[in-house]
Amino acid sequence: MPYYGHQCGIVPRRLRDAWWVCSACLPEFVPACGICSAPAPVIDRQDGFVGYAYGRLCPSCVAKVQAAGPWRERRAQAVAAREAALLARFPGLAVIRRGRSMVTLAGTVEGRRVQVRLRISAREGSSERYIFHVQDDSGVTLGVDDLGLPEALRSVLAHDPIGHVRTEVPWLRVAFAHLGKLDTVTALELLVARTRGPAG
């Protein structure tokens, strides 16, 4: 839609010249770029509406995204970078499954069994991109506050991020919506340290 939803029900007379914001319903609202947060400049006005140059991405960020190539290619490259970082830091890990939608690594880190799933594509509505399973023999049910994650990692946890699963061993499961390449390594280091039992 080239104008933002509002309650008064008035529709702009001209739709294609700008991104329109209702002056009555959203008097303080200014669209901003979803990547760099640059506020959109005003380029037009009509009765009851202010017209802005863009509503989602600024021209500069559009150009960067287009230059980076299709999103599936970018996503695969991002997963490959995180896979390489994990393998370089943790020689006990290996890729056990590589598919179109996910890469799975598994092995042992500091005596703990570990599995990491790096999603190339996620189910619709899913925020889980990076999923860690770490052997947890502590017998304690952990919450977000118990993990000791720095704010930078807490802020990118997936919705309902923590679970406790028992198969051949008890697992702590933690899911993140996004992690940088080095953050992926840091997250696994912290989770392994947190799940060590008294004998660990």
How far CA 90 is from CA of 175, 184, 186, in Å, comes to 19, 12, 11
Residue range 76-111, pLDDT digits in tens:
888 999 999 999 999 999 999 999 889 999 999 999
User: What is the three-class DSSP state of 79?
Assistant: helix
Confidence of residue 1 (pLDDT cuts 50, 70, 90): very low
pLDDT at 175: 94
Q: What is the pTM of this model?
A: 0.66
pLDDT at residue number 5: 58
Query: What DSSP string describes 121-173?
Result: S--TT----EEEEEE--S-----GGGS---HHHHTTEEEEEEEEEESSSEEEE
Average pLDDT, the chain: 86
- Dist. CA 158–CA 130, nearest whole Å: 9
**How far is CA 93 from each of CA 99, 114, 116, rounded to the nearest angstrom?**
17, 8, 9
Whether the predicted pLDDT of 33 surpasses 70: yes
- Model confidence at 124, pLDDT cuts 50, 70, 90, reads low
50 pairs with which residues across the strands? 21, 45
pLDDT at 106: 97
For residue 119, the cross-strand partners are: 102
Higher-pLDDT residue of 7, 88: 88
Which residue has better confidence, 36 or 188? Answer: 188
Looking at residue 197, its pLDDT comes to 54
Reading the block at residue 140, the tokens are: 């304690």
Q: What local confidence, expressed as pLDDT, does residue 174 receive?
A: 96
Sort residue 142 into left (φ over 0), alpha (ψ -120 to 50) or beta: beta
What percent of the chain clears pLDDT 70, i.e. is strictly above it? 92
| pLDDT score for 199 | 46
Residue 172 confidence (pLDDT) above 90: yes
Nearest to residue 9, comparing CAs of 24, 28, 30?
24
* Identity of the residue numbered 25: C
Band of residue 122 on the pLDDT scale cut at 50, 70, 90: low
The β-bridge partners of 197 are: none
Asked if residue 32 lies in contact with residue 21, where contact means CB atoms within 8 angstroms, the answer is no
21 or 174: which carries more pLDDT confidence?
Answer: 174
pLDDT for 39-73, tens place per residue? 999 999 988 889 999 988 899 988 988 887 777 78
DSSP annotation of 47 reads: T
Closest CA to 54 of 69, 66, 79, 36: 36
Kindly tell me if the per-residue pLDDT of 10 is higher than 50.
yes
